[in-house]
Amino acid sequence: MMTNLNSKLQVAISHQYGNLVVHGDIQFSVKENEFLCICGPSGCGKTTLLDILSGLLKPSKGDVLLDGEIVNPKKHSISFVFQEPSTLPWLTVWENIATGLKIKKLKKAEIKQKVEEVIRIVGLGGFEGFYPHQISGGMKQRVSIARAFATDADLILMDEPFVSLDQPTRERMQQEVLDIWKNLKRTIVFVTHNLEEAVFLGDRVIILSEKPTSIKADLPIDLPRPRNLMSLEFTELRAKCFSFLHQK
Ligand SMILES: Nc1ncnc2c1ncn2[C@@H]1O[C@H](COP(=O)(O)OP(=O)(O)OP(=O)(O)O)[C@@H](O)[C@H]1O
Ligand SMILES: [Mg+2]
């Protein structure tokens, strides 16, 4: 694999589970602080790809380089936000957000400052002492997102994080993720099968094919933010993504 020092993440892999070829030849890179969205049909291996990017699953062939080194969860700090909010029910909102920082053995004052900052940005002020069962699904997902951003993660991986939320909550959360990302720049790989969500959020959208999965398109989304879902430019880009997704 060519090493491009400008990229944060460099992926060149293929993967199969037993005889099932999931990923053919998948190659892409992500720049520092870029927001990359990945779209693809159900079962094409989006979650598997994120598992590979996290270093938890070794690809059958190839490598993932993070900051020029083979990704290693023991060395790199990688945050994962799943489809279902992954809050710990026995911890308060404050403690849930602080968990990643405690694992990193930061000083108490540093943890306090970081958690307070993130709580303010995600709008959970006033709910610090609540337990997960006392808050809504949308707020729980906000806790998961706050935890992901609280650590100085080298990479944030998000696997359809809003799919189980109702439409208005989903739209609010999309805006919130953009706000947090604008405040606390991070490199994000965000998986969704919702093209509108991808074009709304991403600096770039990668469209995957059916298995054996390859990259059908890698499109820059050079629309200014905040983006208007009703604008002609937006609907044209979404239509372009749609035609790639459905092209045989
Ligand atoms: N641990 C595993 N062992 C064997 N096969 C697996 C394993 N995990 C996933 N698969 C298979 O690999 C393929 C890709 O699965 P994956 O969950 O990565 O797809 P996905 O794109 O995330 O799907 P969805 O859109 O439904 O979330 C599927 O055919 C799935 O059945
Ligand atoms: Mg999945």
Q: Is 125 in the pocket of ligand 1 (CB under 6 A)?
A: no
Hey, which of 16, 37, 38, 48 would you mutate to test ligand 1's pocket, going by the most ligand atoms within 8 Å of its Cβ?
48
Which pLDDT score is estimated for 2? 53
Q: Is 97 in the pocket of ligand 1 (CB under 6 A)?
A: no
Cβ proximity of 127 and 135 under 8 Å: yes
Question: Whose Cα sits closest to atom 16 in ligand 1?
Answer: 45
Closest ligand to C-alpha of residue 51 is 1
CA-CA distance, 139 to 204, in Å (whole number)?
27
Which pLDDT score is estimated for 174? 92
Residue 128 lies in a domain: no
CA-CA distance, 38 to 34, in Å (whole number)?
13
Residue 1 lies in a domain: yes
| CA nearest neighbour of 11 among 45, 52, 60 | 52
Distance 159 CA to ligand 1 centre (A): 13
Q: Is 208 in the pocket of ligand 1 (CB under 6 A)?
A: no
Hey, which of 22, 38, 42, 82 would you mutate to test ligand 1's pocket, going by the most ligand atoms within 8 Å of its Cβ?
22
115-145 pLDDT, tens digit each: 998 898 888 999 999 999 999 988 998 899 9
Domain enclosing residue 232, as ranges: 1-76+186-248
Residue 58 lies in a domain: yes
Residue 164 lies in a domain: no
Which pLDDT score is estimated for 100? 80
Closest ligand to C-alpha of residue 22 is 1
Strands (E) located in the chain? 7-17, 20-31, 35-39, 61-66, 69-70, 78-81, 155-159, 188-192, 204-208, 215-220
* Region of residue 126 (phi > 0: left; psi between -120 and 50: alpha; otherwise: beta): left
Q: Is 43 in the pocket of ligand 1 (CB under 6 A)?
A: yes
Residue 96 lies in a domain: no
Amino acid code (one letter) for 140: K
CATH number, domain with residue 36:
3.40.50.300
CA-CA distance, 217 to 205, in Å (whole number)?
8
Pure H helices in 153-231: 167-183, 195-201
Other C-beta atoms within 10 Å of 145: how many?
Answer: 26
136-178 pLDDT, tens digit each: 988 998 899 999 988 888 999 999 999 888 888 888 889 989 9
Q: Is 226 in the pocket of ligand 1 (CB under 6 A)?
A: no
CA-CA distance, 75 to 97, in Å (whole number)?
21
Closest ligand to C-alpha of residue 44 is 1
Number of structural domains the chain divides into: 1
- Ligand 1 atom with minimal separation from the 42 CA: 25
Residue 175 lies in a domain: no
Higher pLDDT residue, 219 or 248?
219
**Mean pLDDT computed over every residue of the chain:** 92
Question: Whose Cα sits closest to atom 30 in ligand 1?
Answer: 43
Which pLDDT score is estimated for 4? 58
Residue 181 lies in a domain: no
Tokens representing 27 are 């190659």
Residue 166 lies in a domain: no
What are the Cα distances from residue 58, in Å, to 13, 33, 50, 124, 235?
A: 10, 24, 11, 37, 38
